[in-house]
Amino acid sequence: MKKLFILPLTLLSIIFYSCGESSSSSKDYKDASLAIEDRVEALLPLMSLEEKVAQMRIFHANIGVKHDENGKLTLSDKVIEKLKIGIAGIKNPGEHIDAVAAAKLNNELQKYIIENNRWGIPALFVTESYNGVDAEGCTKFGRPMTSAASFNPVLVRRQWDVVGREARLRGMHMCHSPEADLVRDPRFGRMSEAFGEDTYLTTQMVKNAIIGVQGNYEGLGNGTHIGAVAKHFAGYGQVLGGSNFAAIEISERTLIDEIYPPFEAAVKEAKTLGIMASHGDLNGVASHGNPELLTGVLRDQWGFEGYVVSDSNDIARLFYFMNVAESPEAAAQMGLEAGIDIDLYAEDSYAYLPEMVKKNPELEKLIDRSVRRVLRTKFILGLFDNPYIDIEEVEKGVRAESSLELARESDLESIILLKNEDKALPLSKDKTLSVALLGPLLKENTKQMFETVAGSNVKFIAEKGFQLTNQKGGAPELLDRDPKAIASLVNKAKAADVSILFLGGDEFTSKEAYFSSSTLGDRATIDPVGPQDELVERIKALGKPIIVVLKHRRTLSINTIAEKADAILDAWDLSEFGDESAAKIIFGEVSPSGKSPVTIPRSIGQIPFHYSMKEINYKKEYLFLGQGPLYPFGHGLSYGEFEYSDITISNPEITPNTELEVSVKVTNNGSIKAKEVVQMYIKDEIGSVTRPDKELKGFEKIELNPGESKTVSFTITPKMLEFTGVSMKKVLEAGDYTVKIGTSSQKYLETTFKLNK
């Protein structure tokens, strides 16, 4: 009998791996000198089918990635099992611990992943960004809608640059943000996550957010920034009834001309590494099973080379929610064929792919296509070569003083002065004054922030009075009216010279409505909840000035507030220094310069109601309701007094091969240095299809000293005048156009030009 020799397992592994590499590729994927495509092609053939599919799945850290009392990594049995063959990524590891602890945890986690899969493939750690990095101990900025109100794309780029740096220092690599959706329905609980109602404004903001968070793309490979995942492709902000998960009905023309451009810019101009598909359908076709959208438009037309990730569990939902697939396996195949590369969270979707390939081997070609995109992303981010964070850099890089100052700067440029009757603002620091800080949106540190800004002459009293809801996370309930609390607030106002009321809504009155039927976040009305209007009316009856600081995450129909308040600061959802910034504006340290990124309606009954609707939509008003919006898109007052004059155009005609320059003179006739957003709109007077009333095509934020003038110029290009015509192709039509330049979508100077072909 022959004697058997048993080689040690490690030696067998070396022989096996060596044979695999030599037979699959002559190149070594670990060779950093190779082109990324060559490294991907060297690694892919080495992988088993199961290992490939693992690179198409992301799970959430809450299933068992933790740190113990000593700060050491602990993994659940479920996580350990998942990581045996690698993983595409993990969502939010270390989100509830400070940055240094998170960086240490993520280094340990990455080391474990690399050492416990055959090829040492690192994982993507994924975060989100709505107020800065959504994790403990990072700089808290205002939400995207707040940033949009700044009308300052460079400021937004700087803000997201900080987001990218802070996230990478925590050990993160990708960000399921920013949102490139347009939001035009304030019933929708996620309204403040996006950049407003307008295509052009959203495009500029999204593009700059991605460039910032990715470090102008250069920050990806050198380890200073993270990759962006623009979402939700496409049309998610237009859910019917403003209800999350509802159907989406958008005309093809609107889709092409208004919904697609922010995503196209994210791909072509900002080079986003990722795209997330939309929860919903699109005119009856489920987005997660839509190859025309995810491959035809995104890749074939726009040339996108990154990966597409599902939204939470949405591939499986093609079967059990959308009812467009016959089985979970059919849903997985639909998603794969449509172009979804990564399955987010699900255990009942891409997990089935290895078994499905046994029955349909052709599917492996599509799997390879997706895995290439995932591996390419990891190589772009430099994770194979430099997978770990330098812990010494974390503490000085996260919440740096420059980042905190940027949060303050962003607030000051984003606060909108909606109303300032009889120059109620600014208040004077020099006069002895008693001020009551009142209302349900008052914070514990608001009084301290106001005292620091106002100085010793101003005395403050503060009382919250009541909450808006019981603050239950899933489905908050309104609280009963508390007459004692209201009376106490009125008494506080009676004792003061002026009242500053903190009103609006919070994270409980406007939020994401998750898939569970017990979790709600959308609203059927947009009136302020609770007795807020009553509070305004009763304090107004005292005959003393009322200043309202409006905080909210959805547009509110603030008719009573608009009528009764002497001044209104629209603050949306500011940074951690928001009340300090509001105080600086109220007491005149800075002139407000924000502009509304949405139309503010008088009633929910006016919806849909955005400034760029078709002209014919404005033919009729409603019975028993005032005309037009309460405040128009682009509206925002200033302590400066801006005068627009001398609008000129370089040529009364434009051709498909020429450009025009239109200019206007802006003068600050006030007594304070102030910033102004000069806005340019274009109206196509006659088109082959019904056209928008006007469209924002340019804006510039300027700063003028008292008495100073500046000529602001915009270039009009033929591209600005294109639209989707009767044939559903882009057209450039001869005819008359009006250009309007001014301080809002309703207050401007205008001139005309003609397009000749």
Where does the pLDDT of residue 537 fall: very low under 50, low under 70, confident under 90, or very high at 90 and above? very high
User: Residue 340 half-sphere exposure, CB side, CA atoms within 13 Å?
Assistant: 33
79 has a pLDDT exceeding 70: yes
Q: What is the mean pLDDT of residues 2-11?
A: 34
pLDDT at res. 155: 98
pLDDT at res. 4: 33
| R_g of the chain, CA atoms, integer Å | 28
640 has a pLDDT exceeding 60: yes
CB 621 within 8 A of CB 645: no
The more confident residue out of 140 and 474 is: 140
Please tell me the class of the 415-618 domain.
alpha beta
CB 585 within 8 A of CB 574: no
Element at 114 (helix H, strand E):
helix 99-115
CB 431 within 8 A of CB 494: no
pLDDT at res. 694: 98
pLDDT at res. 70: 84
Task: Tally the residues of the chain.
Answer: 757
Q: Where are the domains of the chain?
A: 1-127, 415-618, 642-755
pLDDT at res. 69: 85
pTM: 0.95
| pLDDT tens by residue, 592-623 | 999 999 999 999 999 999 999 999 999 999 99
Q: What is the mean pLDDT of the chain?
A: 95
25 has a pLDDT exceeding 60: no
470 has a pLDDT exceeding 60: yes
pLDDT at res. 146: 98
627 has a pLDDT exceeding 80: yes
What single-letter DSSP state applies at residue 133?
B
pLDDT at res. 11: 36
SS (H, E, C) 477-530: CECCCCHHHHHHHHHHHHCCCEEEEEEECCCCCCCCCCCCCCCCCCCCCCCCCC
Q: What is the mean pLDDT of residues 384-412?
A: 97
Cα–Cα distance for residue pair 582/287, rounded to 1 Å: 41
CB 569 within 8 A of CB 562: no
- Percentage of the chain surpassing pLDDT 90? 95
pLDDT at res. 517: 81
Helices (H) and strands (E) in the chain, counts: 23, 28
Go through 122-161 and write b for each residue having 16 or more CB atoms within 10 A of its CB, e for each that does not.
bbbbbbbbbbbbbbebbbbbbbbbbbbbbbbbebbbbbbb
Q: What would be the CATH architecture of the domain defined by 642-755?
A: Sandwich (2.60)
Where does the pLDDT of residue 23 fall: very low under 50, low under 70, confident under 90, or very high at 90 and above? very low
Cα 598–Cα 602–Cα 605 angle in degrees, nearest 5: 95
| pLDDT tens by residue, 230-245 | 999 999 999 999 999 9
pLDDT at res. 18: 41
Where does the pLDDT of residue 46 fall: very low under 50, low under 70, confident under 90, or very high at 90 and above? very high
1 has a pLDDT exceeding 60: no
Q: What is the mean pLDDT of residues 21-30?
A: 66
CB 584 within 8 A of CB 453: yes
Q: What is the mean pLDDT of residues 416-445?
A: 97
pLDDT at res. 43: 98
| pLDDT tens by residue, 162-196 | 999 999 999 999 999 999 999 999 999 999 999 99
Cα–Cα distance for residue pair 723/370, rounded to 1 Å: 34
- Whether the bond between 426 and the residue before it is cis, its omega within 30 degrees of 0, is yes
